[in-house]
Amino acid sequence: MSPDEKTVAALADAAKIKLTDEETAAIAAELSRRIRYIDLLHTLDTQDIPPTTVPCPLQNCLREDVLTPSLPRTDILQNAPASEEGFFLVPKTIEQRSTAT
Amino acid sequence: MTESSLLSLTALELGAAIARREVSVLEATQACLAQIARMEPKINAFITVTADAARAQAQNVQARIDAGTLTHPLAGVPMAIKDNIAVRGVPTTCASKMLKNYTPVYDATVTARLFAAGAVCLGKLNLDEFAMGSSTESSHFGVTRNPWNENHVSGGSSGGSAAAVCAREVFYALGTDTGGSIRQPAHFCGVMGIKPTYGSVSRHGLHAYASSLDQIGPLCRDARDGAAILSLLMGKDEHDATSVSCSPPALPQGTRLDTLRVGLPTAYFESPLDEDIRKAVLSCADTLRALGATVAEASLPHLPFAVPTYFVLANAEASANLARYDGIRYGFRPKDFDGTDDLYCAARSEGFGAEVKRRLLLGTYVLSGAQYDAYFEKARRARTCIARDFDAAFAQFDVLLTPTSPATAYPIGRKVADASDAYSGDIFTVSANLAGLPALSFPCGMSRDGLPIGAQLIAPAFGEETLLRVAHAYEQSRKHSAPCPKGVLPHDDL
């Protein structure tokens, strides 16, 4: 089943991407083309085939819990778009209306 | 030594010349920086050139060599790193507006390992945005042009890495390969590109695209360089839980391939394939036969499902991996927004380019509701079928020889007719990622219109040494490795 414009709008909401109406229509058409292509998979019988998640025989990787130095907080915050008193600054999450920081 | 002859050396040859004090690390670095200044206006392989840092690093490395504390065969050799791998203090943009101003505060494990061995880093190399593409045309910083023909793409996503090695700007480069992103640009530019076994090289410090497929590997001039670089990169890293202990490949030697069993997968030659590429790869098979190998047809019946499987899994994993870019801790944050949710949306909508958005939405789709079983789960099972094809083939063969890509480098701006065309170029490379196998692309000829042709070798997991041994024997029989485009080398004296 190919995604229609309503589905694309819901996908964009889930992926936190804003689309204009024009973009939504264009992406619905593009995704439909791409989906038709991957529909080839439905011609393959996989009923008794187990799924592969990673292509190597990984087991749980356990190690001793050892305390090691962290990266300096001031260095990390140099990449933050906004910070204050050593913390990442984010909009207020309770009040919906807030101003840009 | 003239500048041209210096730039024509392999990485190991330059490392030996530095060790013998025939050339200093700074002289080699300056020669590369001059070559970058000459070539960049034409090809745009670099996003960031770190000239001052490279000179300082060169002097530091020279001092350690002089003091006898640095003896690695690649010590002092200039190189560069794809711009989705962290280098401390140097912007790492992933060729995206989203990370245009992001500067890592730590080195990726691969970066740290190379620096510990005395590598001199000249900068960061162009790619498709977040490594999502096959031509570097989706880079926020413009396309990388092919040194063989500047109207053609250099391939991708590691197009900057391949073009920089081809244009003699660096002696080797790091790339990343999720569905062919090291091997395809290596083929397009006439250099060697190696995707190591899944788990053999740490991804700590790599911006993840599709975590069950991504691997870091070298683009370089020949098989001996490839082995030397891989021996530095490979091995377990406690910062990457998928990394495993493994033996690095020995430097390849010898010119005979007696007892080697080479499989030629018939399916690869029955799908659409450029005639010059077909001839070059079959001629390569004849050469391997002349070197003592037996060559026979191999069967990989699930090849037609490889690209659709890759398409589903890569996009699904990308949609999860790229959820981290939200404008909060690092990366692009818009000026105007209304609340947290709007900040996320605005940062991602303005920060990501069109192709990244399309892939994230497709990935979100195949993971949503009923589509999860119909597409994602189906693709995970198809992946098992593809891996089993290889298991069966490697019961009969030591390596498989295939074309790297169905076509040579195409013109910049080529209109892609539909989605299947956009991905059909990946058809010969994605299977090795799906099955986690090591694969290598090496130059094996030129097309009638003067563009390089690469052949691909695929081996069982941890079979890097076999790949390099075969490629090395082939290089010896041809008396050359990476060809050099006309006009790339300067003619003035050092």
Query: How far is A87 from chain B, CA to nearest CA, in Å?
Result: 10
Residue B283 has pLDDT above 90, yes or no: yes
DSSP at A50:
P
Residue of A nearest to B319 (CA): A15
User: CA B296, CA B84: separation in Å to the nearest integer?
Assistant: 39
Residue B256 has pLDDT above 60, yes or no: yes
Residue B133 has pLDDT above 80, yes or no: yes
For the residues of B148-165, what is the DSSP string, one character each?
A: TEEEEE--SSSHHHHHHH
Name the CA radius of gyration of chain A, rounded. 23
Task: Please give the average per-residue pLDDT across B93-122, as a whole number.
Answer: 98
User: So which residues of B are the catalytic ones?
Assistant: 82, 157, 181
Query: How far is B425 from chain A, CA to nearest CA, in Å?
Result: 14
What does the block give as tokens for B228?
């030397």
User: CA B345, CA B70: separation in Å to the nearest integer?
Assistant: 49
Q: Which residues of B touch A63 (CB under 8 A)?
A: 238
Residue B436 has pLDDT above 60, yes or no: yes
Taking Cα atoms as reference points, which of B204, B232, B239, B198 lies closest to residue B218?
B232
Query: If 0-12 CB within 10 Å is exposed, 13-18 middle and 19+ buried, where does residue B452 land?
Result: buried
- Across the beta sheet with B172-177, the strand order is B46-49, B120-125, B78-82, B172-177, B215-220, B192-195, B439-446, B452-458, B399-403, B261-265, B294-298
More confidently predicted of A63 and B101: B101
Q: Which residues of B touch A50 (CB under 8 A)?
A: 381, 384
Q: Which residues of A touch B328 (CB under 8 A)?
A: 80-81, 88, 90
Query: If 0-12 CB within 10 Å is exposed, 13-18 middle and 19+ buried, where does residue B492 land?
Result: exposed
Cβ contact, residue pair B302, A44, below 8 Å:
yes
Q: Which residues of A touch B335 (CB under 8 A)?
A: 100
pLDDT tens digits along B336-384 = 999 999 999 999 999 999 999 999 999 999 999 989 999 999 999 999 9
Contact B128, B158 (CB under 8 A): no
Residue B12 has pLDDT above 70, yes or no: yes
Nearest to B308 among A16, A37, A76 (CB): A37
Nearest to A52 among B304, B305, B387 (CB): B387
Query: How far is A21 from chain B, CA to nearest CA, in Å?
Result: 14
| Residue A96 confidence (pLDDT) | 54
Q: Which residues of B touch A92 (CB under 8 A)?
A: 339-340
Residue B76 has pLDDT above 70, yes or no: yes
Please give the mean pLDDT across all residues of chain B.
Answer: 95
Q: Which residues of A touch B106 (CB under 8 A)?
A: 71
| Residue A20 confidence (pLDDT) | 93
| Residue B479 confidence (pLDDT) | 74
- Count of residues for chain A? 101
Bridge partners of B362? none
pLDDT tens digits along B206-218 = 999 999 999 999 9
Nearest to A100 among B335, B341, B349 (CB): B335
Cβ contact, residue pair B305, A100, below 8 Å:
no
Task: Please give the average per-residue pLDDT across B29-58, as a whole number.
Answer: 98
Peptide bond into B157 cis (omega under 30): yes
Cβ contact, residue pair B423, A37, below 8 Å:
yes
Task: Please give the average per-residue pLDDT across B262-267, as a whole number.
Answer: 96
Cβ contact, residue pair B381, A30, below 8 Å:
no
| A residues 1..40 contacting B (CB < 8 A) | 3, 7-8, 11-12, 14-19, 27, 30-31, 33-35, 37-40
More confidently predicted of A5 and A62: A5
Give the residue from B102, B355, B356, B381 with the most A CB atoms within 10 Å of its CB, the best one to mutate: B381
| Residue B145 confidence (pLDDT) | 98
User: CA A57, CA B199: separation in Å to the nearest integer?
Assistant: 10
Q: Which residues of B touch A100 (CB under 8 A)?
A: 335-337
User: CA A41, CA A36: separation in Å to the nearest integer?
Assistant: 10
- Count contacts between A and B (CB, < 8 Å): 176
Q: CA separation (Å) from B103 to A70, B88, B132?
A: 17, 7, 21
Residue of A nearest to B243 (CA): A58
Residue of A nearest to B313 (CA): A53
What does the block give as tokens for B365?
């789709």
Residue A1 has pLDDT above 70, yes or no: no
Chain B CB within 8 Å of residue A98 CB: yes
- Range list of β-strands (E), B77-135: 78-82, 120-125
Burial code (b: 16+ CB inside 10 Å, e: under 16) for B416-441 equals: eeebbebbbbbbbbbbbbbbbbbbbb
ipTM: 0.91
Bridge partners of B399? B262
Nearest to A52 among B308, B331, B383 (CB): B383
Residue of B nearest to A96 (CA): B339
| Residue A60 confidence (pLDDT) | 79
For the residues of B106-120, what is the DSSP string, one character each?
A: S--HHHHHHHHTT-E
pLDDT tens digits along B139-177 = 999 999 999 999 999 999 999 999 999 999 999 999 999
| Residue B254 confidence (pLDDT) | 93
- Using a CB cutoff of 8 Å and minimum separation of 24, what contacts does B410-419 make? B410/B135, B410/B152, B410/B153, B411/B151, B411/B152, B411/B153, B412/B135, B412/B137, B412/B143, B412/B145, B412/B151, B412/B152, B412/B153, B413/B137, B418/A33, B418/A37, B419/A30, B419/A33, B419/A34, B419/A37
Chain B CB within 8 Å of residue A70 CB: no
The overall pTM is greater than 0.90: yes
Cβ contact, residue pair A54, B382, below 8 Å:
no
Q: Which residues of B touch A70 (CB under 8 A)?
A: none
pLDDT tens digits along B374-422 = 999 999 999 999 999 999 999 999 999 999 999 999 999 986 655 556 5
Residue A80 has pLDDT above 90, yes or no: yes
Residue of B nearest to A13 (CA): B345
Taking Cα atoms as reference points, which of B384, B382, B425 lies closest to residue B406?
B425
| Residue B422 confidence (pLDDT) | 59
Chain B CB within 8 Å of residue A66 CB: no
| Residue B494 confidence (pLDDT) | 41
Residue B493 has pLDDT above 50, yes or no: no
| Residue B421 confidence (pLDDT) | 62
